[in-house]
Structure 1
C-alpha cells in the first residue's frame, strides 16, 4: 500500500490558469514513468487554485518524486505560472481504496 504521500497546493498567476492546468495534464506522462509513484492526481479547486496529490510505498519513492522530472519542470516554470511558490506537505495515508 502507498502509505506516504505529498499534497502540493498551487496558485496560478492571474491569466496563467489555463497554462497551469495544461502543465498539470501534461505531467501525467511523467508521473506514469515513475515506478515508485503508483498514485498521482492533478487537482483543480477553483478558478486559480490547483494541487497535486500523490502517494508512495516508501520514503525513497517520495524523495525520488520530489527530485524528479515533474518537480524540476514545475520549479523551472514557477516564475511564469505560479503566484506563490508551491506549498508542499508531507502526509501519511491512513486508509485508501484503489483499483486492484
Structure 2
C-alpha cells in the first residue's frame, strides 16, 4: 500500500463548519481563523485542519480525524470554545457545524 494511501486510511471523520461574518467583521474573522492554527497543531487527533474563505463574508473550517473520539476531542477543545465565545461579536449567525464521513482521501506521507 503506497504511503499516501496508508495516511488516508487513518482519516475517517471530519467537520465542515460554515461561518458568516457580520458586516465589517470579515478581517477579524479571518484573523481569528488564522490564529487557530497553532492551537490545533497541538491536537494529536486532528489530522488536517483548513481555515477557508468561501466568499467575501463567508468562511469555513474543514478538519479531519481518525475517528469520532478525535472529532469529539476537537469539538471540546480550545478553538471550538474560543469560536463559540466570539461568535456573537463576529458572526451574523451561529456557526453551521456538520459532522461528515470521509469516503476517500489523498494525503501526504
Count, aligned residues: 100
Alignment pair present for 1:57 and 2:76: no
Q: Using the alignment, how far apart are the partners of 2:64 and 2:37 within structure 1?
A: 14
* Runs of 4+ displaced beyond 3 Å: none
Secondary structure, aligned partner of 2:106:
coil
Q: Using the alignment, how far apart are the partners of 2:44 and 2:55 within structure 1?
A: 30
2:14 to 5, 8, 12: 5
Alignment pair present for 1:77 and 2:86: yes
How does the TM-score come out when normalised to structure 1?
0.98
Q: Using the alignment, how far apart are the partners of 1:79 and 1:86 within structure 2?
A: 10
How far does the alpha carbon of each residue in 1:10-43 deviate from its partner, in whole angstroms, 9 at most, with x for none? 0000000000000000000111010000110000
Q: Using the alignment, how far apart are the partners of 2:73 and 2:90 within structure 1?
A: 23
Corresponding residue of 2:6: none
Deviation of residue 3 (structure 1)? 0.6
Corresponding residue of 2:105: 96
Higher gyration radius (CA): 2
How does the TM-score come out when normalised to structure 2?
0.90
Corresponding residue of 1:48: 57
Q: Aligned-residue CA RMSD in angstroms?
A: 0.5
- Can you give the 5+ residue segments of structure 2 that lack an aligned partner in the other structure? 1-9
- Can you give the 5+ residue segments of structure 1 that lack an aligned partner in the other structure? none
Q: Using the alignment, how far apart are the partners of 2:12 and 2:96 within structure 1?
A: 20
